[in-house]
Structure 1
Amino acid sequence: MSFNNLDQLYRQVIMDHYKNPRNKGSLEEDAMTVDMNNPTCGDRIQLHLKVEDGKVSDAKFDGEGCSISLSSASMMTEAIKGKTVEEAVDMSNMFSDIMQGKEVNEDKLEDLGDIQALQGVAKFPARIKCATLAWKAMEQGVDEKE
């Protein structure tokens, strides 16, 4: 697949998650809630996590922001459900590496699924905070839980 076709596919995936967000909403009061915002651009997210026996049993989000921040939140909540807290944090670290333009093991990259579509954001430093907002909220939430 040519670079242009791949880039177009990634844009479609991002816009699909933006227009049809997965896991948008909130969880019951026994879930942890993390509010985070990006003052640079005004993105705001409220992340709800339910962690049981060391696993993320459910994750939802609500908020306002650009297509990058909201699609990233949608992708992240899909990806971390059913993962252990350690696996979720490892995914977050890998995503952070991708956003910083670091080399990532290609086999591990496959594990990210739709999240791969956000690789191109690394070319736009001002948008990296948008893409990582939900991930930072998740890290803060699981840190507080421990």
Structure 2
Amino acid sequence: MSSSESDRDWAEWVAFHLERTGHHVRVEVRDRAPGHNRVHRLDEAVRSSRRTLVVLSPTYLADEALATEWHSAWEADPAGVRRKLVPVRVAECRPEGLLRDLRCIDLVGLDKRLAVARLLDGLDGTRSREGRPRLFPD
């Protein structure tokens, strides 16, 4: 998972809920250790990971160094067929360029229960619960 240092709480919250459902999650700001080569670990993570989640916030978008993390995932699946790059928007912001065209899992303004549901549904590729039609409309 790619996030800014200032969004570490969000990254850990997302990781916690994904790990509870059996996903293996590597969070750069949480899991890095002294002596690790960041570029090597990034390359390894992109090649071996099913997905790269990006914790989107104004701080993330302003950090040019973090762009290398999502660029690598985007290049591995530029058409989005495998959903290799999944943005998770946690604060009001407007991505530009290539990120602008990716649909986000949007957690802005949601309560905790709904945010967890939206995160898990979004990662599974299904529509959120409130968007699902009822079987027999009134």
Q: What TM-score does the superposition give when structure 1 sets the normalisation length? A: 0.26
Larger fraction in strand: 1
Q: Which has the higher contact order (CA 8 A, sep 6+)?
A: 1
Larger helix fraction of residues: 1
TM-score by length of 2: 0.27
Give 1 or 2 for the bigger CA radius of gyration. 2
